[in-house]
Amino acid sequence: MQFLTGATVVLIAGLMSSSPATAKCNDHPGPGVDWQGCNMQMVMLQETDLTGANFEGAFLSGTVFTGSRLTQANLQGAELVRTSFNKADLSGANLEKTLAWRALFNAALLKNARLVKVEFHRVSLEGADLSGSDMTEGDFIRSNFANANLNGADMTGAALSRSLFHGANLSGVSFQRAYLYWARFEGTDLSGVKNLTQEQLDRTCGDQNTRLPSGFSVPQNWPCGED
């Protein structure tokens, strides 16, 4: 029997540890890059074309995607703590079950994006375009939707307590079963929303500049105090 030297054992171990899954994480960023499950935290990827990229289950906390193109990208189950997507294009992207805390999506394009069952805590989406997006069962507690375009978005079953909607376009938004405790609708037009009940509205905050759907009455607790 031929015995292996120590150097040979080390070499073989090194080759075994360099699995295809590990190797792909070293791929250069670009359209269609596959970084599934990779640790890409604190990476500067601003103004980068990542069309159709696969980030499923990836660790992207602190990474900067400002101004990048991520159309049709897959971010399902990714971790996005303090990640920046300001002015990024995520049209048609899949963010189902992503975890985001204090992430930034200001002025980002999220048209027809999938945000089903996300956990977005204290996330800023100010001025973002979320028109036609699927946000069902998402957790958006204390998130900022000020001046965002949510035209036709589906927020069925979403948790939206203490979130800000000042000046947002909510035409055609479905609030069916949405949890709206202390949601801030000051200066917001609610006349075109769908599946909203008076009971839900009574838990929210608004003011004299809030436009209500036909048949609804102004809640007695309006205007609310500071949060």
Q: What local confidence, expressed as pLDDT, does residue 190 receive?
A: 98
* Secondary structure (3-state) at 111: coil
Q: What local confidence, expressed as pLDDT, does residue 22 receive?
A: 63
List the Cα angle 63/67/72 in 5-degree steps: 85
d(CA 199, CA 164) in angstroms, rounded, equals: 19
What global pTM score does this model have?
A: 0.89
Q: What local confidence, expressed as pLDDT, does residue 21 receive?
A: 58
Burial (Cβ within 10 Å: 0-12, 13-18, ≥19) of residue 9:
exposed
Q: Which two tokens stand for residue 101?
A: 């805390």
Q: What local confidence, expressed as pLDDT, does residue 225 receive?
A: 78
pLDDT in tens, the chain (227 residues): 343 344 333 333 343 344 545 669 999 999 999 999 999 999 999 999 999 999 999 999 999 999 999 999 999 999 999 999 999 999 999 999 999 999 999 999 999 999 999 999 999 999 999 999 999 999 999 999 999 999 999 999 999 999 999 999 999 999 999 999 999 999 999 999 999 999 999 999 999 999 999 999 999 999 997 75
d(CA 63, CA 85) in angstroms, rounded, equals: 9
Q: What local confidence, expressed as pLDDT, does residue 1 receive?
A: 39
Parallel/antiparallel/unpaired status of strands 119-121 and 99-101: parallel
Unique residue bearing structure tokens 């150097």: 7
Q: What share of the chain is helix, strand, coil (3-state, %, to 5)?
A: 10, 15, 75
